[in-house]
Amino acid sequence: MKRRTFLAATGAGAAGLLALAAERRWRRAVVVTPPDHAPRILSRAEWGTLAAAQDRLLPSGPGSPGAREVNAVGYLDGALAEADTDPADRDRVKQGAARLDALAHDRGATSFADLAEAARDEALRAFQKEDDAGEWFETMLGYTLEALLGDPIHGGNPDEIGWRWAGHQPGWPRPGRSGT
């Protein structure tokens, strides 16, 4: 059974994703970087590498949004630019992008984004075996899931696309709203 099929078929899977996203520190609204704008924290090369990585971590599927549909890399760039973001997150994300590009160079590509999907998966598996990779994957998955499942008032989940996919009905009052 594919991961997407399993998650879509079980409320427990969606609830687990929501719990993982909620485990991260609550943040104020993130000013998401639109895809057609210059990145705020990431370089253009890092943007491309991290967008390709997020696309493999949360791929699109029939009836299910992925990192691309929620502009996860724009959310990541905006969140990393926030003053209250842990500088270790910025460093970890950027170092991981550099490591993925180095793995791509080992495979004859200019960057991770230039690899075919199968080669990206292979590079991610190789990176996953490295000693400090676990923190990078945790950080990337956390920001990616925030972009997919967070309340849109915080900058992610455009048009509640992630909520509709997960069948989530938000409570009231919503964050930052009075409820009256």
Strand partners, 64: 61
Alpha helices in the chain (DSSP H): 3-9, 11-23, 44-57, 72-81, 87-106, 117-128, 133-149, 161-166
pTM of the predicted model, to two decimals?
0.83
Q: What is the pLDDT of residues 39-52, one digit of tens each?
A: 999 999 999 999 99
Q: Which residues contact 144 (CB under 8 A, 6 or more apart)?
A: 54, 57, 58, 67, 72, 76
| C-beta separation of 167 from 123 below 8 A | no
Q: What is the pLDDT of residues 133-157, one digit of tens each?
A: 999 999 999 999 999 999 998 888 9
Closest among 33, 43, 57 to 117, alpha carbons compared: 57
- Structure-token match 């090369």, residue found: 45
| C-beta separation of 131 from 145 below 8 A | no
Torsion of CA 164, 170, 174, 178, to 10 degrees: 120
| C-beta separation of 27 from 79 below 8 A | yes
Task: Fill in the amino acid letter for 51.
Answer: A
Is the dihedral angle over the CA atoms 164, 165, 169, 170 positive or is it negative?
negative
Q: What is the pLDDT of residues 48-103, one digit of tens each?
A: 999 999 999 999 999 999 999 999 999 999 999 999 899 999 999 999 999 999 99
Q: What is the pLDDT of residues 113-123, one digit of tens each?
A: 999 999 999 99
| C-beta separation of 147 from 70 below 8 A | yes
| C-beta separation of 124 from 53 below 8 A | yes
